[in-house]
Structures are given as C-alpha cells and as structure tokens.
Structure 1
Amino acid sequence: MRVLTGRPPLRQLGLDLALGLVAALGLPPFGLWIATPLALALLIHRAARGGAFWHLLAGGLGWFGLSMNWITEPFLVEPEIYGWMAPFALVLLALGGALFWAIPAGLAARLATDAPRRALAIAAALVLSDWLRGWIFTGLPWSLIGHAWIDTPLAQTAAWTGAIGLSLVTLALAVLPSLLRPLPAAVVALALTGGLWAAGLARLAQPLPPDTRTVVRIVQPNAEQHLKWDPEWAAVFFQRLLDLSAAPGPRDLVVWPETAVNFLLEDAGPVLPTIAQAAGAPLVMGIQRRDGSQFYNSLVTLNPDATVGAPYDKFHLVPFGEYIPWGDALARIGITAFAAQQGNGYSAGPGPAVMSAPGVPDFQPLICYEAIFPRHLHGLDRRPGWLLQATNDAWFGQFSGPYQHLAQARLRAIESGLPLIRAANTGISAVIDPHGRIRQSLALGVQGKIDAALPAALPETPWMRWGSAPAVLLAILALAATLVRRKRR
C-alpha cells in the first residue's frame, strides 16, 4: 500500500514518539493542557512533509502508551496469575490506538499534494478518528484529544460541541502553524483560545438554579480489589457499607457503588431488611443478578420497606473484561471474562434508561464504563433530573485511570447540563454540578460518605439537541476542501 511507503528513519520516529508522550501530558493526572496542541502542531507539521502513517503511528504510540498506562493495573490485582499479561496489554492497546491515528492520517494525507493541505487533511482525519473511536468495535472513546481541556474554562464549549468539538478546537490550533506564517498563526491561535476561554468563564459565572431539596448520601466503602471477593473481607466491607449508610444525618437517598456486595440479588432476601434499615431512605445499590442462565451487572432501588424496584442492567459491557466474544465456546478451555464474578461473563441490558426512586428526581444510571460514552445520554424517553455513575475503579490503580474516568464524568455533566452523582468503590466519589465542577469529593483509597444537596439541572444544552454532528461535519468539510483542491489541479 502506498500509504505505508516513505518510512522515516528510526531516530525520526523516536522524536514522534516523544511528541506523543508530551501531548499526553495534557490529560489527567498531569493536566498540562498547553502541551497537547503544541506537541500535536509539531507532529502534524512533520507528518505533512511525508510519511504521515509512520509519524502518526509513532506519535500515537506515545499518546496512548502514556495516557492509557492504567490498562496494566487489572493484571496486577493477582500478579501471580495475570501479571505476565500486563506488558502485552499495554503494547497492544497503545498499538491499536496508534493505528486509529495512523491509518486515517495516512489516507487523508494522500488527498492533498502540498504540505499545508496535507496538514489540514491530517488534522481533520484525527477529529474523525476521535469520533469513530466511540463506535468502532463497540467503542472506546478514552483519551480523546479534546480531553486535555476538561480542567479548564474552555471545557464549557462542550455544552455546544461535545467532546468531539473539543478535539476539533485542539486540532484547529495544532494545524495553524502549518497553514499560516508564524505571527498570523499565533494571533489566530490566541484569539481562538482566548475567545473560547472567555466564553467558558462567562458561562461559569452564570448563577446556577438553587439546589434541589434532595440530600444524597454517597457511600464509599474502599473495598480493595484484591480483597473485594474474599469471603472474610466481604463481610467487613458489607458492614462498612451498613455503618456508613446508617451514620447520623439527614438523607433522602443513599447510593452505593457498582457491585457493592458479593452476593446476588436473588440471594439477598434475608439481608434486605437490614440494608433498608441502615439506609433509612431509598437506596440505589450496585449488585449482580441472575435471570435463568444469564447474569447482569445491575443497579436496583431498595425502598424503605425492603422491596426492590425494577433493575437497571448495564448494557455497554467491557469487551474481555465483562464478557468474552464467543464466551461459551472459549469458557470450555478456561477463558472467561476478566472482571465478571458470575458465569462466563455478563449479559447486556436493553439500553439507556431513566430510573426512579421514591421522593427524588428521576435519574439516568451509568455503570462504570458507560459514562465514557457521550452518545448514551441521548435516546431516552424523557429528560432525567440528574446523572448517577456507580463505578468500581479499584481495578485501575491510583495513578491515572481513576482521574481520567472522573474527568470524563465531569464532561458528561457539561454536555448534558445535568448534575452528576458519582459513587466509586475506592474513589473518587463526587458531587458534580451541571457546569462540571466538583463540589465535594472523597479521595482515592479512603472510606467515607458524602452528604450533599443534589444540584438542580440547567436547561437542555445545544449539544443535547445537535450531538456531535456539527463538529463531525466541519471535519468532513475540511477533508472535502483538500479533495476539491486536488481535483482542480
């Protein structure tokens, strides 16, 4: 394939790898947002001069290798069994992500015959790549380029454009030096960044509606993953959940994290009155359940009279973590889903839904991984009053994964204009307002509770009406412009 021709020398690819690493410093836990557009500007400029596939492959290895290093952590929960897989998981994930940069960039670069237009084509292709990563192979929109802005006022742009719009802004900044002379490029970059930054500050300065009267108690038991399913420790963690739920203080709703207990819903009957009494209010709890031969990762509402509401079953499952493709066949040779504790893996629920609990506004549940998908906020039969993410981030260590997961939850609040309550087993539990700001939180590795008034929702955002279509369309138009120019020649 001609896309693969023109491989630069290894020392040049080493520089591209370094640029990808520097660009990834814009993401949590580092938060050096300016590093992302600057490093990508150099990478795109180099790729536009030839060998785009190889330059972006090396740069993507740096970006994904650093930003998704947390993928090794699940294999280190039981290192004596799975530890040997950790380096392979990191290399394969980084390589897969890098191909999502290299292939579209290599193809796009062929649409133009001069370096500036090749740079524009590459930047547009990377925007579309970020969008496609939310869909292809069930999707993995983690470490999007636009995530570098989440901790800045410019993140408020997502209320209009979504996460893909933030990637579009980043890559627009990155391509400017390849399209304009240095001074005009700097002026346009400062104007674009400054204008969106100011707009974000203006949005943040707008007063939010008064909080609701609902007081939510978030319980964080800090059940360490390597002990979570041990029968003796499971009893300790269960008592911890009860004690934190029963602590003095008013509450209208109690929230437990994903898979909070080590027993199935069908086996929980004898302890449900005890849980209901400790909660002293309706409780939303993460629990596994069985329906015939199928198992589900679920959330249920436990009412004060110990009756259980209709379950919400997680529908966007983690491939190879919660289910294995062709799982029944592979289970015969001992290959089962990594994180599922029941059966050969979980079955998927029907899709996004709105849940209810007595006396509180309706909410949309998101179990763990589901919160990284902006598209799951659409398609509901009615608008909820808030978002609830129940998660277990104990799988992903304490360096980058939990912070990136929290950042993406904040972005969902900005996109939707809805507050988000986050209950995480080992942290970071948080109350997030509809501007994506953290009001209260519990750090990683601590047990505790948060009692907080539920923030009120904002009116529906433009992004909820339009989705990512405008940003995707602009990227397509940029690609089309390079193609039109080539045809004219």
Structure 2
Amino acid sequence: MRPGVSWRGRPALALALAFLAGVLQTASFSPSPAWWLQPLALAWLIRACDGQRPRRAALTGALFGVGWLASGLWWLYISMHDFGHLPAAVSALAVLALALFLSIYYAAGMGLAARWSAGAAPWRRALAFAALWLGAELARATILTGFPWIASGYAHAQGPLAAFAPYIGVYGITALAALVAAALALRRWALLGTLVAGIVAGQFLPQDFTRSTGTLTVSLVQPNIPQDQKFDRERFDQNLDQLIALIRTARGQVVITPESVLPVPLAFLDDEHVERLRHDAETRPLLLGTFLGNTTDGFVNSLVGIGFAQRYDYGKRHLLPFGEFIPPGFHWFVKAMNIPLDDQASGQHERALPFAGQRLRPLICYEDLFGEDVVASALDGGDPAATVFVNVSNLAWFGPRMVQDQHLQFSQMRALEFQRPIVRATNTGATAHVDHRGRVLERLPPEQAGVLEVSVDGRSGVTPYARWLSTLGLWPLWALAALGVLPVLVRRRQGASRFA
C-alpha cells in the first residue's frame, strides 16, 4: 500500500480538496488571523502529495496555490474592473492567471518532493517537503523582482512563532511552520513533539535587542479620497482643500501624508498650490506623498519633506509589477486600464531623515514586503540607520476588505524582525501605529477621513536577524532549503549505486 493519501478513483475530489485547502490557508491571515490554520492547511497538502506520482503531486500543489492566492489576492479584481474599467470576465481571468503563474513555484516544490522522497524514511520525507516549500516561497519572493504578498510566514505575525522573528525573520518562520506541518502530516510524533517543545522554549528567548531613543509625536493623515476621484482634474482643488484642512488640525511634531496624496508631479503644480503647502509646513514639517522627476527621465513615486531644516526627498525603489512598472510584453494589458503614471522610474537612495532626535526611514507601500531591501536601515551606525519606519500607502485601488489588514500584518512582521516601530499613513486605511514588538497600538477606522495622533517610541539597536541578513542576505535560507533535501538525494544516490 502506498504511504500517502490515495485518491484513486476520486481524482476530481482530491483536486477540489487541494483548492479548498489553499483557501483555508488564506483564512490564516488578517483580518481574522488564525495562525494555526496555516500549518494545518499545509499539513493537508503534504499528506495529499506524499507517496503520489510527481505529476499528481505537482498538480495538487498547483491547485493548493491557486486556491490560496486567488482567494488572498481577489481584491486585484477591484483595481482592474472598478478603476481600470476592464470587463468583469477579463479582470477575474487576470487574477486567476496571476494565481496560476505564482502557483508554479508550489507545483515544482511538491512535484520534486514527491519525486525525490519516494520510498524514503518518513523523517527524510518530512525534511524534503518542508525544505521544498521554503524553496518555493523564497523563489516567489525573489524571482522577477519578487511578489511575496501573503507569503505563509506572515500568518505568524501573531502567535507563538512571532517570538522567532528577531532571530530568523519571516522566511525562517516559514521553514519552521512547514516542518511542523510536515511532521504532523507524516505522523512523526517524536519530531513534532521536539518542535513543539522548541517553540514553547522560544517564548522565553530574549526579545529586547533595541533601546529607546525617545519619543516623537506624529500626525498620520488619512484623507479618504475615493480612487475614482483622486486623478479627476476637476476635483483637484477640492481634494487639496480637504488635505490642507486635515493638515491644519494636526498636532504632532511632524505630519505624514499617504502615498501619492498629491497625484501629480510636484513640478506640475502652480506657485499658488505650492505656496499653500509651504505655508502650513511653517508650523510643523510635512512629509508629502507626490511624484518627482520629468518626462525625460521618468517620474518617481516619492515622499518629499517640506519645512525641514534640510532638503529631503525619498523615491520608491522596489516597484510594483503592472502598477508601477510594466513587465516586457504586457504594455497592451496595462495600457488598456489607462492607469495614470503606470511606468515609473526607481528612486536612488535609502537615506533616513534626521528629525527631533529620530531618524525616519520611509517605505512606500509595497516596499515593506522586502526586509532584505531595508535591513541596512536597521543597523546602528552609518547614514542609513533608522529609529522609526514610516510606511505611506494608497490601497484605495483595492477596496477596504482584506487588503488593508494583510498589509498591516506585513508591517507587524517587519517591526518584529528589526524591532523598530512603524507608523503608517494611508489614503483609506490601514492608518496605524505599530510598536517595536509588532503590536498595533492605534488605528483609524477604514474609509474614514481623519488624523491619527500618535507618540512613537524610536528604537536603536540590532536584532540577530538584521545582523546576519545584512551580511549574508537570504542565502542562509536557500542553503537551509538545500540541506533539507540532501538526505533524500543522498539516499537516492546510494540506492542507485547499489543497483549499478
């Protein structure tokens, strides 16, 4: 009898269950985080693939990925249909096509695990499945600029595995959760017991790697301008009036506005508009979301400092595929949606802004998914060192449901990894204050105009994760994935040599 789950005679049911298990994994993320669902869903996948032919395992992994990513990224439909005005069927198919493409990584991982571990001891199979799941997640996070949205480790921004974030980061947590899932799926109770004991012990690991650098009062502006009105020229003055009215109510030492709150390049504004903004910045400095650049060199999604002692601007460096840069061969698709400023240039620096005894490091929207890109700002000494991370976003493209909570969860993980607080100013949500322990201390309700006044405790210091990530990047995790499959590959080679 084959060691895995046999679905012979019921292939359609097996594949439908794989899809549903992927949907279950989505349920482990915010807005109702149930971290324990993530290893349970993955355990089902591993159990279903174990002992199967590689092609069947690959198809099962692909359908799991489609269920997970289509249900977790469905809000992309809103940007394409409601604001890009693509037909409903085309928008739905585009979301499905993206989920299918990203699921290739999980198909490859499960197919290779089934192929390489066939006939191996259960502990070897458990290591192989966990390692190849980690490899699939790393591949999705890095290949073609990466798209790690709702990577499985983010489900553990809350829960017991969060204690390991300052040591091993989100992908180390991904590996640990995958090994728990594999031990559960293959009923390796001794391994599972050891892992659970280690996780319990991990709750007592030191968590204080940073120290306070004092407090800063910050005003986080949430204008709540509907996306279909944001680029409407006839409403520009009205939207600007609304923004300035909110700024004037701010009481913090610094005011932070969302990404692209001024939806035209700053150079295109007339003197009257610029003077109105500068006048209000005389009372308290302002970090303004706008665009810099020109038609020749391209426009850069930027955060511009107004009213500070020194000139400051920060340009987004890690651009969002399709929304901010167009992959080769897809100009026709993006142009069909008529997205403003759809092919942007990348920013050139990652300097933090010194102000009132703190150093503010901007992260524009999607950038806070890439800890490896910003780790230099979480190190003491040198120009990039930061005490507070500042995320500015505009998620109005995607509606209020699910996407805001997911993005907030990513900020929580970054705060845990580097033990730096994160303040978030967004157009429609989630405008929030996350402390250095990843706790959401304050948050404005979604789709409600207002200013969130927070007192943020800046932090200085270096976590173990920041130390090794800054030196080695993600390579130790790639090595861990390779080591996980080494026992089954050695066994296969030894078995082949015996029959040679």
TM-score (norm 2): 0.87
Deviation for aligned residue 1:125: 0.6
Q: Which residue pairs with 1:286 in the alignment?
A: 289
Separation in structure 1 between the aligned mates of residue 74 and residue 322 of structure 2, nearest angstrom: 17
Q: How far apart are residue 153 of structure 1 and its match?
A: 4.3
Partner of 2:279: 277
Cα offset, 1:379, TM superposition: 4.1
For structure 1, list consecutive stretches of 5 or more residues without a partner in the other structure. Answer: 1-5
Give the secondary structure class of the aligned counterpart of 1:88.
helix
1:171-228 C-alpha deviation (Å, 9 max, x unpaired): 011011345455x3553353244333x237x73xx69855624211111101111111
Per-residue deviation at 1:292? 4.4
Asked if the contact 2:213–2:387 (Cα under 8 Å) also holds between the matched residues in 1, the reply is no
* C-alpha contact (below 8 Å) 2:113/2:128 kept by paired residues: yes
Kept in 2: contact 1:127–1:171 (CA 8 A): yes
Deviation at 1:167, TM superposition (A): 0.5
Aligned position for 2:465: 463
Match of 1:99 in 2: 104
1:192/1:26 CA distance change after superposition, 3 Å: farther
Question: Cα 1:199–1:241, aligned 2, differ >3 Å: closer, same or farther?
Answer: farther
Give the equivalent residue in structure 2 for 1:175. Answer: 182
- Conservation of the 8 A alpha-carbon contact between 1:321 and 1:338: no
The equivalent position to 2:311 in structure 1, one of 302, 309, 312, is 309
- Counterpart of 1:336 in structure 2 is 335
1:483 aligned counterpart, secondary structure:
helix
Q: Name the CA distance, whole Å, in 1 between partners of 2:244 and 2:126.
A: 57
Is the 1:288–1:295 Cα contact (8 Å) retained in structure 2?
Answer: yes
Query: Are the structure 2 counterparts of residues 340 and 237 from structure 1 closer, same or farther at C-alpha, using a change threshold of 3 Å?
Result: same
CA RMSD in angstroms, aligned pairs only: 2.6
Q: Cα gap change, 1:337/1:301 in structure 2, threshold over 3 Å: closer, same or farther?
A: farther
Where does 1:324-363 land on structure 2 (aligned, <5 Å)?
324-326=326-328, 335-336=334-335, 340-342=339-341, 345-350=343-348, 353-356=350-353, 358-363=355-360
| Alignment check: 8 A CA contact 2:231 2:263 kept | yes
Partner of 1:73: 78
Letter paired with 1:374: G
Q: Distance in 1 between matches of 2:372 and 2:336?
A: 25
Cα shift at 1:323: 2.0
- SS of 2:214's equivalent in the other structure is coil
Superposition deviation, residue 474 in structure 1: 2.5
Show the counterpart of 2:136: 129
Where do 1:303-452 residues align within 5 Å? 303=307, 309-326=311-328, 335-336=334-335, 340-342=339-341, 345-350=343-348, 353-356=350-353, 358-379=355-376, 381-452=383-454
SS in structure 1 of the partner of residue 353 of structure 2: coil
Give the letter aligned to residue 349 of structure 1: G
Q: Which amino acid in structure 2 is aligned with residue 271 of structure 1?
A: H
Q: Secondary structure at the match of 2:228?
A: coil
Equivalent residue number for residue 300 of structure 2: 296
The 8 Å contact of residues 161 and 463 in structure 1, kept in 2 or not, is answered as yes
Task: Name the amino acid aligned to 1:138.
Answer: T
Q: 1:377 to 1:335 in 2, by over 3 A?
A: closer
Q: Which shows bigger deviation, 9-18 or 166-175?
A: 9-18
- 8 A contact 1:211–1:453 mirrored in 2: no
Separation in 2, partners of 1:326, 1:52: 31
Name the aligned partner's letter for residue 166 of structure 2: A
Report the CA distance between 1:416 and its aligned residue.
Answer: 1.5
- For structure 2, the residue ranges without an aligned partner over 5 or more in a row are 1-6, 378-382, 496-500
After TM superposition, give the deviation of residue 341 of structure 1 in Å.
Answer: 2.0
Paired with 2:179 and 2:321, the residues of 1 have a C-alpha distance of 33
2:39 partner SS: helix
CA distance in 2, matches of 1:339, 1:29: 31
Classify the secondary structure of the residue corresponding to 1:336. helix
TM-score using structure 1 length: 0.89
Distance in 1 (alpha carbons) for counterparts of 2:160 and 2:185: 26
Partner residue, 2:151: 144
Match of 2:498 in 1: none
Task: Give the distance between the partners of 2:250 and 2:18, measured in 1 at CA.
Answer: 56
Aligned pair count reads 471
1:359 to 1:211, Cα distance in 2 relative to 1, 3 A? closer
Counterpart amino acid of residue 289 in structure 1:
L
Question: Is residue 486 of structure 1 aligned with residue 484 of structure 2?
Answer: no
Instruction: Tell me, yes or no, if structure 1 residue 108 matches structure 2 residue 109.
Output: no
